[in-house]
Chains A and B, each alone.
Chain A
Amino acid sequence: MTAPETRGIQITNFRKLYGKTEAVKEVSLSVERGELFGLIGPDGAGKTTLMRAVCTLLVPDGGTVLVQGRDAARDIAAVRARLGYMPQRFSLYQDLTVEQNLRFFADLFQVRQKEREGRLEELYRFSRLGPFKKRRAGALSGGMRQKLALSCALVHTPETLVLDEPTTGVDPVSRHEFWEILRAIQKEGTTILVSTAYLDEADRCDRVALMHEGRIVAVGTPEEIKAGFRHVLYRLAGRDARELRRFFSGLPQVHSTQLFGDAVHVVFAKKPGQSDWEEWRHALEGKLEHWSPERPSVEDVFLELIGSGR
């Protein structure tokens, strides 16, 4: 058995039922210490349930959850003292100011007076919330709210940070900034478990787990995940993308098609030959102008995985 201290988060055969519905089915997962780990999947995949169990907020219906070697269902106080959690919904006090919120959580976590002021300054600096100290949390923009929530989760300098969809509903610039901040926190040695429904955010993580309907369908680095793509992806361009898509989705060797702006992504069961392309170009009367192999994204892999499950 691995020494528990070397593990960030270790989930073994975790199950959770809500009534008769199985929200999470026998999930095992291990997050290394100091890793930025992404839990990726659509709404209802069971991400929140899994994260709440890590945060000691849910009792498993089976299996165990260890956080830094401590059982999240039993050693509750110890886990809570070392964990920072940012729930999916903005859950700070909207009628309190930025500073009041931060100080309140510093009190709850009993951050020592000596360290407190320094820590607050640090948090104001990285979140750039310093100038808004006196503003009510309810009056902040979406991006700033998320940074405040993150600051509150970090006020006691936790060893493990759990973030439930922190970038949902945040504008692209703030999202980018938020991921930069997470990277900076990781550099300080914090283990981070973050969930997102945006599949393109997978590339921001060291490793990811793809979740679907209460199961983990793939785990690995974003590169490993993409390498697991079993089909062949092509990017096609032409005068009428819709017409192209219609044509290719009717072919027997095509697994799936997707519109990407002006282009069409087509997934083939196996690599088409040059003669095939000539034939298709002819059939489409010149509407097909350009085609090239495309590196699959995590999203393509995900769609492939859940598609093959049907």
Chain B
Amino acid sequence: MERRAGEDDRLYRNAGRKENVRTSRSRILSIAHKEFFHILRDFRTLIIVFLMPVVQLIMFGYALNLEIQRVDAAVIDFSRSTASRDLVERFEGSRFFRPFYFEGGVSQVGDLFKSRAARVALIIPSDFERQLLHASPVSLQVLIDASDSNAATLIRNYCNQVLVDYNASRGAQLPVPFDVRTAVLFNPNLKSSYFFVPGVIAMILVMISALLTSIAIAREKETGTMEQMLVSPVLPHEIILGKVLPYIALAFADAAVILFVGLLVFRVPFVGSAVLLVLLTTLYIITALSLGLMISTRVRTQQVAMMLALTVTLLPTILLSGLVFPIASMPAALQYVTYLVPARYYLLIVRGILLKGSLLGQLAAPALSLVAMSLVLLVVSVRRFSMNLER
């Protein structure tokens, strides 16, 4: 005879009506209040919760520098003309590249990359100067070592930038030699701090919300206090809300700290609406909490909760949300997986609001995705939340 939690819940509500046991605001608050005490008593965890984002900001800010500078660039110049030397000087002039002339053939570029003597090769055709003068589209070959796909993307962007500058310097009256259409907006210097401060917010919020909530509920199961709580007439959503509320507050406090450090130390711009940011951050926190709840319904010990939460939240958030590695440079199969990572949507939201000043209408797609995710997770976890000691 198998009875699922949902069925119990229904019986429970019927009985509740008969017995006049209604949802009690005071019961939710009382559980929340108790949870706050647990958080405050567990001082070490609290310190970690607030120190970790700062450490991560420093790590991402200084150690993991996504800005690439002084990339060795091999130049194979078949043209050997003034025009080609002029172009190479352009590359030399930018702080991104350190060009050197390479006398070997194009076929040897692979060896250059293997020995890391160069990460990009610029091949200038013999009729380069003639093409320029005749205003025909100029062909210029750029080979980039994509063993580090991230760096490759950046190098390509930098190349484009140099070429755009080159175009501009030749003046409008002359025919435009290169047809480069890339434009870097909102973060014209490709500063990585603009990139990782929102990323750290997304990561920390998932950590606090999913990891700590699932651990907090697993702890009650593990220490037997859930058993004691369940024999009271408390309702499942009262336990869930009560347990979750303090972590929403904690997540907000943490987000504020990160944003503050980001704005102040890393000079991240804040172009958009603060109200919209708070609103959509709440939505993201709710999604992450639902994920934590979902995990807690499946585990019985804190350790398993932690392992599971780390696996399903932290790793995908770092690796598959576009936080560090651009989604566009992932294999197609992985790109589909990223649709399941809440941080993917939140990064669009938070970067949009901070850097571009996006409005709600422009962020509707990621916001709705988060709403849908939260709803599915919440419904499943409330239904799975066992009000007895059966599995």
Chain A interface residues toward B at CB < 8 A: 52, 55-62, 73-78, 80-81, 83-85, 87, 89-96, 100, 104-105, 107-110, 152
Contacts and interface: CB of A to CB of B under 8 A. Distances in A.
A96 B30 CA distance: 13
Interface in B366-391: 387-390
A81 B224 CA distance: 19
Given A80-B233, A81-B19, A93 B387 contact: no
Task: For the complex of A and B, list the 3 residue pairs with the smallest distance between their C-beta atoms, beginning with the closest.
Answer: A91-B224, A107-B30, A77-B15
Given A78-B15, A87-B227, A95 B24 contact: no
A152 B15 contact: no
B231 A56 contact: yes
A76 B11 contact: yes
B231 A57 contact: yes
A224 B12 CA distance: 41
A158 B125 CA distance: 92
Contacts of B30: 104, 107-108
B16 interface: yes
B180 interface: no
B181 interface: no
B40 to A, nearest CB: 9
Contacts of A94: 223
Given A107-B26, A108-B30, A110-B24, A91 B228 contact: yes
Q: By CB atoms of chain B within 10 A, which of A57, A108, A110 has the most?
A: A108
B389 A95 contact: no
B38 interface: yes
10 contacts: A59-B1, A59-B3, A74-B15, A76-B8, A76-B12, A89-B224, A91-B227, A96-B37, A108-B30, A108-B229
Nearest to A75: B15
A308 B142 CA distance: 92
Interface in B37-56: 37-38, 41-42
Contact of A109 (B37, B225, B233, B387): B233
A77 B232 CA distance: 8
Interface in B218-237: 223-225, 227-234
Contact of A58 (B11, B21, B224, B389): B389
B228 A87 contact: yes
Nearest to A156: B232
B34 interface: yes
A75 B233 CA distance: 11
A78 B18 contact: yes
B224 A96 contact: no
Nearest to B29: A107
B34 A96 contact: yes
Contact of A95 (B19, B27, B38, B388): B38
Interface in B79-105: none
A92 B231 contact: no
Given A52-B389, A61-B1, A77-B19, 8 more contacts: A74-B11, A76-B12, A80-B233, A81-B21, A84-B231, A91-B227, A104-B30, A110-B24
B135 to A, nearest CB: 78
B315 to A, nearest CB: 30
Q: By CB atoms of chain A within 10 A, which of B11, B31, B225, B387 has the most?
A: B225
